[in-house]
Amino acid sequence: MNEVSSSIRAPVFRLSVLLPWFFTVVFAAAALVVGFRYETAQAEYALLEQTHTLTELELKRLRAQLEAERILAAKLAADYDVLKAAAKPTPATVP
C-alpha cells in the first residue's frame, strides 16, 4: 500500500504549460476588441457619409430656391417699374 500511495502525486503547476494558453486568450480578446471597434468605425463612417449626402442635397435645394427667389424678385421689380411708368401722369393730362 505504501508503494501505491507514493506513486500518486499531486499535479504540479507548471507555468510553461499555461503561458501559451494565456497569450492565446489575450490575443483572442484583443482581436475581438479590435474587430468590434473596426465594425463600429465602419458603421459610423456609413452614417457620416449618408449625412454628408443629405447635407449636399439640402444645399443644392436651398441654392435652387435662392436662385428662384432671385429670379422672381427681379421679375417683380421689372413689373413694378413698368407699372410705375404707366401710372405716371403725363404733363398733357395734368390740369
| d(C-alpha 4, C-alpha 20), whole Å | 33
| d(C-alpha 55, C-alpha 61), whole Å | 10
**What confidence score (pLDDT) does residue 63 get?**
98
Q: What is the DSSP annotation of 15-79?
A: HHHHHHHHHHHHHHHHHHHHHHHHHHHHHHHHHHHHHHHHHHHHHHHHHHHHHHHHHHHHHHHHH
pLDDT (tens digit, 9 = 90+) per residue, 63-85? 999 999 999 999 999 999 999 88
Of the pLDDT bands very low, low, confident and very high (cuts 50, 70, 90), residue 90 is low
State what percent of residues in the chain have pLDDT above 90. 66
> What pTM, to 2 d.p., does this model score?
0.57
Cell of 84: 410705375
Least confident of 29-33, 35-39, 68-72, 86-90: 86-90
